[in-house]
Amino acid sequence: MTFRERIEKIVDSKLWKYQDIALKIHEKPEVSNYEFFACETLSKQLENEGFDVKVNVAGHRTGFDARYRSKKSGPVIVFYAEYDALAGLGHGCGHNLFGATSSLAAVALKEVIDEVGGEIRVYGTPGEEGGENGSAKGSFVDNGFFDDVDFSLGVHPGWKHTATSSSLGVAPVDVEFFGKPAHAAAAPEEGINALDALISVYNNVNALRQHLPSDVRIHGIITDGGLAPNIVPEYAKAKFYLRAEFKPTLDMVYEKFENIVKAAALATGCEYKFGLYQNRVDNNIPTPLFDEVYEEVLNSYGQEFTPIDIYKAVASSDVGNISQVVPVIQPHICISDEKIIGHTEGFKQAARSEKGLNSIGFGAKVLAQTALKLIQNPERLEEIKKQHRENVLRQGEK
């Protein structure tokens, strides 16, 4: 029996279990930092499959690190697993399928890894949608979990099969101003208006926009603007997203935005706090040679990519943090015959449909065989690594 046949046999024999896990996670949606059920269910299953598992890693209580190392040397491979839900909606992005697919792909590759060599890891990465202690992949990168990794892969549920695309980097920031209360009519001169400082930030951001590259987006909300009109607001707070297509651009925008906050505090006499309220999300850097390997396996099953502009970045994902340090793919896998849009009720229903659940098996087969191809062809893996390094360096020239 060939390695491919053995991988397929493992997936087919175990698929029912991972479909059951996906359904249970779908029925019990959990948001960032609260994915206790999903984390426990997936990590326990991997432990049962023979992986060494640690939970509460990289500063995330609902993150996990599952590993299996063969005695034969070879590349270190990471399948990253997402399993958080959207607040108020549930699994409208299909992460219940995502985590199950990555886990089953790792289990399938484990069937042959002792013979081909290497180490398999599954990183359970909470909060892809953001939220409390969100965007965990940034923490995994910052804490060295990818320092010895050769490549990483996962597949995201979607309407069609498409290749990995670019994404915007985003810095989610809090802005807080601390002033001094006073009667707004009787003694306004005694007050220091924190809301004025915050409004100044809004106005100066609008003035800044005409001097920013076209890929930059700055958008925010006021979450606290004071208690009553007759009291000078002593406290004001806002949340902003700073987005850009390339990491160096986002660095520049962050610095300019912080200067605006400092200036507003100086102009009004307020004290201020400014900084990230969750992990910063970096832009995703595609490595097309890596996607070519995945596409070859996809084609072998009679499926094809729908053409897209992989360099048109419109949204953000913390897979970008991984892409800054190792080659990574995150193609989309079809879970619906009809058009569905992410973060909607329709997508949520597709994530528990028969086609959606069957995508776990198909995705696991394609991911595992993609990894196998690179283990067996070190020259091709080196070409992918070289292209990745060049693309990372190239973004610094933008």
Verify that 207 and 271 share a domain, yes or no.
yes
The β-bridge relationship of strands 119-124 and 271-276 is: unpaired
Structure tokens at 305: 């990519």
- In whole angstroms, what is the distance from residue 165 CA to residue 288 CA? 9
- Is pLDDT at 397 greater than 80 in this prediction? no
Find the domain containing 329 and state its range: 3-167+283-394
Final residue before a domain boundary, out of 254, 276, 298: 276
Quick one: average pLDDT of 275-292?
A: 96
> Cβ(364)–Cβ(372) under 8 Å?
no
> Cβ(286)–Cβ(394) under 8 Å?
no
Quick one: average pLDDT of 179-199?
A: 97
> Cβ(79)–Cβ(153) under 8 Å?
yes
> Cβ(261)–Cβ(172) under 8 Å?
no
Amino acid at 342: G
Final residue before a domain boundary, out of 276, 297, 323: 276
- In whole angstroms, what is the distance from residue 246 CA to residue 46 CA? 36
- Is pLDDT at 313 greater than 90 in this prediction? no
Quick one: average pLDDT of 378-389?
A: 98
- Position 385 scores a pLDDT of 98
Verify that 135 and 223 share a domain, yes or no.
no
Verify that 173 and 272 share a domain, yes or no.
yes
226's CB contacts (< 8 A; 6+ apart) are 194, 195, 233, 234, 235, 236
When pLDDT is cut at 50, 70 and 90, the band that residue 86 belongs to is very high
Q: Which residue has the tokens 């049962």?
A: 48
When pLDDT is cut at 50, 70 and 90, the band that residue 148 belongs to is very high
Number of separate domains in the chain: 2
Give the CATH number, domain containing residue 355. Answer: 3.40.630.10
Give the CATH number, domain containing residue 212. Answer: 3.30.70.360
Kindly calculate the radius of gyration of the chain based on its CA atoms and give it in whole angstroms.
23
Verify that 47 and 158 share a domain, yes or no.
yes
Q: What percent of the chain has pLDDT over 70?
A: 99
What would you measure as the largest C-alpha separation in the chain, in angstroms? Answer: 88
The DSSP 8-state label assigned to residue 147 in this structure reads T
Quick one: average pLDDT of 255-282?
A: 97
pLDDT in tens, 12-47: 999 999 999 999 999 999 999 999 999 999 999 999
> Cβ(330)–Cβ(73) under 8 Å?
no
Verify that 324 and 349 share a domain, yes or no.
yes
- Position 398 scores a pLDDT of 60
- Is pLDDT at 374 greater than 70 in this prediction? yes
Final residue before a domain boundary, out of 229, 255, 276: 276
Mean pLDDT, rounded, of the chain: 97
Verify that 194 and 239 share a domain, yes or no.
yes
Verify that 29 and 150 share a domain, yes or no.
yes
Verify that 261 and 378 share a domain, yes or no.
no
Nearest alpha-carbon partner for 215 in 303, 132, 119, 311: 311
pTM of this prediction exceeds 0.75? yes
Rounded-to-10 torsion of CA 80, 250, 35, 51: 20
- Is pLDDT at 131 greater than 70 in this prediction? yes
E strands in the chain: 52-57, 60-69, 76-81, 119-124, 151-153, 156-158, 169-178, 217-224, 235-244, 271-276, 328-329, 332-334
- Is pLDDT at 114 greater than 80 in this prediction? yes
Nearest alpha-carbon partner for 287 in 163, 119, 101: 163
> Cβ(156)–Cβ(304) under 8 Å?
no
When pLDDT is cut at 50, 70 and 90, the band that residue 306 belongs to is very high
Quick one: average pLDDT of 232-244?
A: 97
Verify that 119 and 9 share a domain, yes or no.
yes
First and final CA of the chain: distance in angstroms? 49
Structure tokens at 58: 């990289």
Quick one: average pLDDT of 133-145?
A: 97
